[in-house]
Structure 1
Amino acid sequence: MAPLPGIFISHGSPMLALEPDAPAHRFLKGLSGLLERPTAILAVSAHWETPRPALSLAAQPRTIHDFRGFPPALFAMQYPAPGAPALAERAGALLAQAGLEVAYSGERGLDHGAWTPLSLAWPAADIPVTQLSVQPQLDAAHHAAVGAALRPLRDEGVLVLGSGSFSHNLYEFRGQDPAAPSPAWVTVFADWMRQALLEGRYDDLLAWERLAPEAKRNHPTPEHLWPLYTALGTGTPGKPARLLHSSTDRAILAMDAFAFA
């Protein structure tokens, strides 16, 4: 089995799970066809924030509906995948070897950053999955180092799946239609980030807050970008990313996805 790439996807609104006409929904429905079947999945979700990297040891992770104001059909969704406590311990050991302090949770389930894309890509919920948190108070270099420490998992059939959002400023949401066009401040940021990733400009990407146009407006807080950097870190140093998907959701959410080999 060839090493699996690290993957970053943008999960957008939780409604993505119920919107079959959305381009990102269709992309995620076909994601499993782009990869060999993983032995297990390590999901890095923007919606689990901790002071240091944390991993879930839950044997049967519950489906967490960590949102409000959405239709009952969304709250009824369940993703009963088995947990992957052995993978969590293996990942924790790799992080510790890299000098990173690690925490564990015996109870953490799957938040919508994990189960929304997984329910589309692997609807049978038959691949073991565990979650890894992000550290919003730390920086891009830290999250890339987390990914680099986890790189050996790719040779073990594990899919490291970063789930965040290529742009994420909900303060700018005004009830836009899902297919509404993006404003210039989203487009210019997404174009810069995409080009830097496709050209393998690693140092520029680490300095995204300073170099990317409209960086702060697209990410007033950075947690939705950190899973991208963890996926980036799992890739071969200096190798350009591969673009898997690009679209927008509700004008302000860039939905790009990338593979790092």
Structure 2
Amino acid sequence: MSALLRPAPLLFVSHGAPSFALQTQSKAATNLQMQGKQLTGCKAIIAISPHWSTASLYINNAAQPKIVHDFYGFAPALYQLDYPAMGSTEDANMIASALRQAGIESQFDTHAAWDHGVWIPMRFLRPNGDIPVIHLSYPASWNLSQLTALGNALAALRAQGFALLMSGAISHNFADLNPNQSGSANYVERLRTKLFTLASSKTLPQLDELIKNDADFKRAHPTFEHFAPFYIALAATQTHDKAYVYQADVDYHALAMDSILWLAQDAQT
């Protein structure tokens, strides 16, 4: 496959609790540091996180976005962290145009700040802030068909050099978090296995079936917003993609920190 035709990488990351930003020696952090090397040479990174949730689709088109510490009650050191933010009005315009051609309307927002689901993973992926990031909102009112269409449209942008960062959670049930219990919950382990298989097979109908009927999924995701980035990511995979699963620890008994990188089959270095 010609390097000029190779799609840019696609990433799904579990961004965990905000305290993840300080866990620089964790397996999840070192995984992202390794994956970030694959982003070298990308035109920009398109990022979606559940923490910028809107009814319809918005695009942050600021040239120099700010970050927001959208959490409370954590260590004071977290509130001192920043990220050398780079946006791109030109790239945001290009993305909006491509989405419109695919039948997807969006609006611009110059004032929205990058939430922790974006800037914390980016601190590990590209600590120098050397690649522009274009933040898209999570359109919470959209159904699975609309999210599929969004993923398909973003897949086409990969061919233009836009890497995709879909930031969410493999498992996300706050009621089950327990810092005093070692190991991981059985349902989390079962769901991880199922999702890793689907990441490699890239079979969206099977993912639809799991979302609708799987008891482990329903317990891991009592609400859908933190899983939506995984769903969009699977819709953005392409025929020649190979999934590289980076397993990490399960924090607090039920918060899986795994990430997945999809690359064209000859792109792994």
Aligned-partner residue type, residue 231 of structure 1:
A
Q: What corresponds to 1:246 in structure 2?
A: 247
Further displaced range: 47-56 or 135-144: 135-144
Aligned-partner residue type, residue 40 of structure 2:
E
In the alignment, which of 253, 258, 261 is matched to residue 259 of structure 1? 261
Structure 1 residue 130 and structure 2 residue 138: aligned?
no
Query: What pairs with 1:108-257 in structure 2 (closer than 5 Å)?
Result: 108-176=112-180, 180-236=182-238, 242-247=243-248, 248-257=250-259
Aligned-partner residue type, residue 71 of structure 1:
A
- Tell me if structure 1 keeps the 8 A contact 2:179–2:253: no
- Tell me if structure 2 keeps the 8 A contact 1:200–1:241: no
Distance 2:186 2:221 in 1: 15
Distance 1:35 1:244 in 2: 16
SS in 2 for 1:258: strand
Q: Residues 172 and 210 from structure 1, CA distance in 2 versus in 1: closer, same or farther, beyond 3 angstroms?
A: same
Aligned-partner residue type, residue 246 of structure 2:
H
SS in 2 for 1:149: helix
Q: What corresponds to 1:81 in structure 2?
A: 85
- Tell me if structure 1 keeps the 8 A contact 2:202–2:234: no
- Tell me if structure 2 keeps the 8 A contact 1:147–1:233: yes
**TM-score (norm. length: structure 2):** 0.89
Q: What corresponds to 1:45 in structure 2?
A: 49
Q: What corresponds to 1:100 in structure 2?
A: 104
Q: Which runs of 4+ in 1 moved over 6 A?
A: none
In the alignment, which of 16, 25, 30 is matched to residue 20 of structure 2? 16
Name stretches of at least 5 consecutive residues in structure 1 with no aligned partner: none
Distance 2:208 2:243 in 1: 18
Q: Residues 212 and 256 from structure 1, CA distance in 2 versus in 1: closer, same or farther, beyond 3 angstroms?
A: farther
Aligned pairs, number: 258
Distance 1:251 1:37 in 2: 37
- 1:3 CA drift (Å): 2.0
SS in 1 for 2:244: strand
SS in 2 for 1:156: coil
Distance 2:39 2:64 in 1: 25
Distance 1:200 1:127 in 2: 27
Q: Residues 172 and 48 from structure 1, CA distance in 2 versus in 1: closer, same or farther, beyond 3 angstroms?
A: same
Distance 1:119 1:47 in 2: 17
Q: What corresponds to 1:56 in structure 2?
A: 60
- Tell me if structure 2 keeps the 8 A contact 1:84–1:129: yes
- 1:171 CA drift (Å): 2.0
- Report Cα offsets for 1:116-173 as digits up to 9, x if no partner: 0101111111221120111233333322210111223212221111011111111222
Percent identity among equivalent residues? 33
Distance 2:251 2:140 in 1: 24
